[in-house]
Amino acid sequence: MLIQLQGLNKTYETPAGAFAALRGVDLTIDSGEFVAIVGKSGSGKSTLLNMVGGIDRPTAGSVNVGGASIEGMSENQLARWRGRHVGLVFQFFQLLPTLTVAENVMLPMDFSSMFPPAERRARAIRLLARVGVADQADKLPSALSGGQQQRVAIARALANEPPVILADEPTGNLDSATARDVLDLLRGMASAGTTVVIATHEREIGSVVDRTVHIADGTVVK
Protein backbone atom coordinates (compact mmCIF):
# COMPACT_ATOMS: atom_id res chain seq x y z
CA MET A 1 0.00 0.00 0.00
CA LEU A 2 1.09 3.60 -0.55
CA ILE A 3 -1.34 5.48 1.70
CA GLN A 4 -2.55 4.26 5.09
CA LEU A 5 -4.83 6.22 7.39
CA GLN A 6 -5.60 4.75 10.81
CA GLY A 7 -8.05 6.06 13.40
CA LEU A 8 -8.05 9.47 11.78
CA ASN A 9 -9.90 12.19 13.65
CA LYS A 10 -10.03 15.92 12.98
CA THR A 11 -11.88 18.32 15.23
CA TYR A 12 -12.12 22.06 14.63
CA GLU A 13 -12.98 24.57 17.31
CA THR A 14 -15.70 26.93 16.09
CA PRO A 15 -17.70 29.72 17.77
CA ALA A 16 -20.53 27.22 18.04
CA GLY A 17 -18.30 24.63 19.71
CA ALA A 18 -16.24 21.64 18.57
CA PHE A 19 -16.93 20.32 15.05
CA ALA A 20 -15.79 16.79 14.16
CA ALA A 21 -14.82 16.90 10.47
CA LEU A 22 -13.37 13.36 10.51
CA ARG A 23 -14.26 10.57 12.90
CA GLY A 24 -12.27 7.35 13.11
CA VAL A 25 -11.35 7.05 9.44
CA ASP A 26 -9.39 3.95 8.39
CA LEU A 27 -8.37 3.81 4.73
CA THR A 28 -5.64 2.22 2.61
CA ILE A 29 -4.83 3.11 -1.00
CA ASP A 30 -2.45 1.13 -3.17
CA SER A 31 0.27 2.49 -5.41
CA GLY A 32 -1.10 3.35 -8.85
CA GLU A 33 -4.71 3.26 -7.71
CA PHE A 34 -7.25 5.88 -8.88
CA VAL A 35 -9.60 6.50 -5.95
CA ALA A 36 -12.53 8.90 -5.61
CA ILE A 37 -13.58 10.19 -2.20
CA VAL A 38 -17.27 10.91 -2.75
CA GLY A 39 -19.55 12.87 -0.44
CA LYS A 40 -21.78 15.89 -0.08
CA SER A 41 -20.45 19.34 0.74
CA GLY A 42 -19.29 19.32 4.36
CA SER A 43 -18.95 15.54 4.52
CA GLY A 44 -15.22 15.67 5.28
CA LYS A 45 -13.80 14.67 1.89
CA SER A 46 -11.63 17.78 1.44
CA THR A 47 -10.39 17.49 5.02
CA LEU A 48 -9.42 13.89 4.31
CA LEU A 49 -7.49 14.95 1.23
CA ASN A 50 -5.73 17.67 3.23
CA MET A 51 -4.62 15.06 5.78
CA VAL A 52 -3.05 12.89 3.08
CA GLY A 53 -1.26 15.91 1.62
CA GLY A 54 0.01 17.18 4.95
CA ILE A 55 -1.88 20.45 4.47
CA ASP A 56 -3.72 19.91 7.73
CA ARG A 57 -2.91 17.83 10.78
CA PRO A 58 -5.11 15.22 12.45
CA THR A 59 -6.39 15.68 15.98
CA ALA A 60 -5.77 11.95 16.48
CA GLY A 61 -4.69 8.99 14.37
CA SER A 62 -1.89 8.35 11.90
CA VAL A 63 -1.15 9.25 8.28
CA ASN A 64 1.45 7.16 6.46
CA VAL A 65 2.32 7.95 2.86
CA GLY A 66 5.01 5.98 1.08
CA GLY A 67 6.43 4.76 4.37
CA ALA A 68 6.62 8.24 5.90
CA SER A 69 4.57 9.05 9.01
CA ILE A 70 3.74 12.63 8.20
CA GLU A 71 1.60 13.55 11.20
CA GLY A 72 4.73 13.95 13.33
CA MET A 73 6.73 16.13 10.93
CA SER A 74 7.56 19.76 11.60
CA GLU A 75 6.16 22.42 9.26
CA ASN A 76 9.49 22.70 7.43
CA GLN A 77 9.77 18.92 7.08
CA LEU A 78 6.20 18.75 5.82
CA ALA A 79 6.80 21.47 3.23
CA ARG A 80 9.90 19.67 1.89
CA TRP A 81 8.15 16.31 1.90
CA ARG A 82 5.04 17.66 0.17
CA GLY A 83 7.08 19.38 -2.54
CA ARG A 84 8.68 16.10 -3.55
CA HIS A 85 5.95 13.55 -2.93
CA VAL A 86 2.54 15.16 -3.54
CA GLY A 87 1.03 17.07 -6.45
CA LEU A 88 -2.05 19.18 -5.69
CA VAL A 89 -4.89 20.10 -8.04
CA PHE A 90 -7.66 22.46 -6.91
CA GLN A 91 -11.16 23.30 -8.14
CA PHE A 92 -10.25 26.93 -8.80
CA PHE A 93 -6.86 26.12 -10.39
CA GLN A 94 -4.79 28.38 -8.06
CA LEU A 95 -2.48 29.51 -10.85
CA LEU A 96 -0.46 32.65 -10.11
CA PRO A 97 -1.91 35.33 -12.40
CA THR A 98 1.31 37.31 -12.94
CA LEU A 99 3.33 34.28 -14.09
CA THR A 100 3.10 32.70 -17.52
CA VAL A 101 1.72 29.20 -17.89
CA ALA A 102 5.24 27.75 -18.20
CA GLU A 103 6.44 29.70 -15.16
CA ASN A 104 3.52 28.35 -13.12
CA VAL A 105 4.55 24.80 -13.98
CA MET A 106 8.19 25.55 -13.16
CA LEU A 107 7.31 26.92 -9.72
CA PRO A 108 7.35 23.58 -7.81
CA MET A 109 10.72 22.76 -9.41
CA ASP A 110 12.09 26.11 -8.24
CA PHE A 111 10.85 25.55 -4.68
CA SER A 112 12.12 21.99 -4.35
CA SER A 113 15.28 22.24 -6.49
CA MET A 114 14.40 18.89 -8.00
CA PHE A 115 15.83 19.63 -11.45
CA PRO A 116 18.76 21.82 -12.62
CA PRO A 117 17.57 25.37 -13.40
CA ALA A 118 18.63 25.07 -17.04
CA GLU A 119 16.33 22.06 -17.52
CA ARG A 120 13.17 23.39 -15.86
CA ARG A 121 11.57 25.27 -18.74
CA ALA A 122 12.06 22.38 -21.15
CA ARG A 123 10.53 20.04 -18.60
CA ALA A 124 7.59 22.40 -18.12
CA ILE A 125 6.97 22.46 -21.87
CA ARG A 126 7.04 18.63 -21.99
CA LEU A 127 4.49 18.45 -19.18
CA LEU A 128 2.27 21.03 -20.87
CA ALA A 129 2.47 18.97 -24.07
CA ARG A 130 1.45 15.90 -22.08
CA VAL A 131 -1.79 17.62 -21.04
CA GLY A 132 -2.34 19.23 -24.46
CA VAL A 133 -1.60 22.91 -23.82
CA ALA A 134 2.06 23.40 -24.79
CA ASP A 135 0.95 26.08 -27.28
CA GLN A 136 -0.23 28.20 -24.32
CA ALA A 137 3.15 28.16 -22.51
CA ASP A 138 3.94 31.86 -22.75
CA LYS A 139 0.45 33.22 -22.07
CA LEU A 140 -0.87 34.40 -18.73
CA PRO A 141 -3.50 32.14 -17.10
CA SER A 142 -6.22 34.76 -17.67
CA ALA A 143 -5.93 34.19 -21.43
CA LEU A 144 -6.88 30.51 -21.07
CA SER A 145 -10.25 28.81 -20.72
CA GLY A 146 -11.19 27.06 -17.47
CA GLY A 147 -10.43 23.67 -18.97
CA GLN A 148 -7.03 24.84 -20.20
CA GLN A 149 -6.21 26.31 -16.79
CA GLN A 150 -7.07 23.01 -15.11
CA ARG A 151 -4.76 21.20 -17.54
CA VAL A 152 -1.99 23.63 -16.58
CA ALA A 153 -2.73 22.95 -12.90
CA ILE A 154 -2.35 19.21 -13.55
CA ALA A 155 0.95 19.79 -15.37
CA ARG A 156 2.14 21.84 -12.38
CA ALA A 157 1.11 19.03 -10.02
CA LEU A 158 3.31 16.66 -12.04
CA ALA A 159 6.31 18.99 -12.04
CA ASN A 160 8.40 17.05 -9.50
CA GLU A 161 7.24 13.55 -10.53
CA PRO A 162 5.33 12.98 -7.28
CA PRO A 163 4.03 9.47 -6.56
CA VAL A 164 0.71 10.94 -5.36
CA ILE A 165 -1.69 13.37 -7.04
CA LEU A 166 -4.47 14.82 -4.84
CA ALA A 167 -7.28 16.62 -6.67
CA ASP A 168 -9.99 18.49 -4.75
CA GLU A 169 -13.13 18.86 -6.90
CA PRO A 170 -10.97 19.12 -10.05
CA THR A 171 -14.01 19.16 -12.37
CA GLY A 172 -16.31 21.29 -10.22
CA ASN A 173 -15.73 24.43 -12.28
CA LEU A 174 -15.87 22.82 -15.71
CA ASP A 175 -18.54 21.89 -18.23
CA SER A 176 -19.32 18.19 -18.59
CA ALA A 177 -17.24 17.56 -21.74
CA THR A 178 -14.18 19.35 -20.35
CA ALA A 179 -14.65 17.58 -17.02
CA ARG A 180 -14.51 14.24 -18.78
CA ASP A 181 -11.28 15.24 -20.53
CA VAL A 182 -9.71 16.15 -17.18
CA LEU A 183 -10.82 12.86 -15.62
CA ASP A 184 -9.37 10.98 -18.60
CA LEU A 185 -6.06 12.78 -18.03
CA LEU A 186 -6.04 11.71 -14.38
CA ARG A 187 -7.03 8.19 -15.40
CA GLY A 188 -4.02 8.05 -17.71
CA MET A 189 -1.70 9.14 -14.92
CA ALA A 190 -2.98 6.40 -12.65
CA SER A 191 -2.56 3.87 -15.45
CA ALA A 192 1.07 5.02 -15.74
CA GLY A 193 1.68 4.31 -12.05
CA THR A 194 0.83 7.54 -10.23
CA THR A 195 -1.57 7.22 -7.30
CA VAL A 196 -4.48 9.61 -7.88
CA VAL A 197 -7.00 10.52 -5.18
CA ILE A 198 -9.81 12.93 -5.97
CA ALA A 199 -12.49 14.43 -3.75
CA THR A 200 -15.79 14.96 -5.55
CA HIS A 201 -19.52 15.15 -5.02
CA GLU A 202 -20.17 13.55 -8.43
CA ARG A 203 -21.55 10.05 -7.93
CA GLU A 204 -21.15 9.14 -11.61
CA ILE A 205 -17.39 9.01 -11.10
CA GLY A 206 -17.45 5.23 -10.64
CA SER A 207 -16.99 4.48 -14.34
CA VAL A 208 -13.62 6.30 -14.40
CA VAL A 209 -11.92 5.39 -11.11
CA ASP A 210 -10.73 2.07 -9.70
CA ARG A 211 -12.57 2.52 -6.43
CA THR A 212 -15.07 4.87 -4.83
CA VAL A 213 -14.92 5.64 -1.11
CA HIS A 214 -18.10 7.22 0.27
CA ILE A 215 -17.87 9.58 3.20
CA ALA A 216 -20.69 11.10 5.25
CA ASP A 217 -20.51 13.17 8.42
CA GLY A 218 -16.77 12.57 8.68
CA THR A 219 -17.04 8.79 8.52
CA VAL A 220 -16.32 6.33 5.71
CA VAL A 221 -19.54 4.50 4.81
CA LYS A 222 -19.90 1.37 2.73
Give the contacts of 151 (CB within 8 A, at least 6 positions apart).
128, 131, 132, 133, 182, 185
Q: What's the pLDDT at 222? A: 67
Q: What's the pLDDT at 177? A: 84
Q: What are the residue ranges in the chain where pLDDT is below 70?
A: 1, 222
* Total domains, the chain: 1
Q: What's the pLDDT at 182? A: 85
Tell me the C-alpha distance between 120 and 22, whole Å: 39
Q: What angle do CA 150, 95, 78 make, to 5 degrees?
A: 100
Residue 136: CATH number of its domain = 3.40.50.300
Q: What's the pLDDT at 140? A: 97
Q: What's the pLDDT at 36? A: 95
Surface-to-core class of residue 57, CB atoms within 10 Å of its CB (0-12 exposed, 13-18 middle, 19+ buried)? middle
Q: What's the pLDDT at 156? A: 93
102-111: buried (b, 16+ CB within 10 Å) or exposed (e) per residue? bbbbbbbbee
Of 160, 12, 175, 152, the C-alpha closest to 85 is 160
Using H for helix, E for strand and C for coil, what is the string for the chain? Answer: CCEEEEEEEEEEEECCEEEEEEEEEEEEECCCCEEEEECCCCCCHHHHHHHHCCCCCCCEEEEEECCEEHHHCCHHHHHHHHHHHEEEEECCCCCCCCCCHHHHHHHHHHHHCCCCHHHHHHHHHHHHHHCCCHHHCCCCHHHCCHHHHHHHHHHHHCCCCCCEEEEECCCCCCCHHHHHHHHHHHHHHHHCCCEEEEEECCHHHHHCCCEEEEEECCEEEC
Q: What's the pLDDT at 203? A: 72
Mean pLDDT of the chain: 90
Tell me the C-alpha distance between 180 and 162, whole Å: 23
Range of the domain at 178: 3-221
Give per-residue pLDDT as tens, 89-108: 987 888 999 999 999 999 99
Q: What's the pLDDT at 190? A: 92
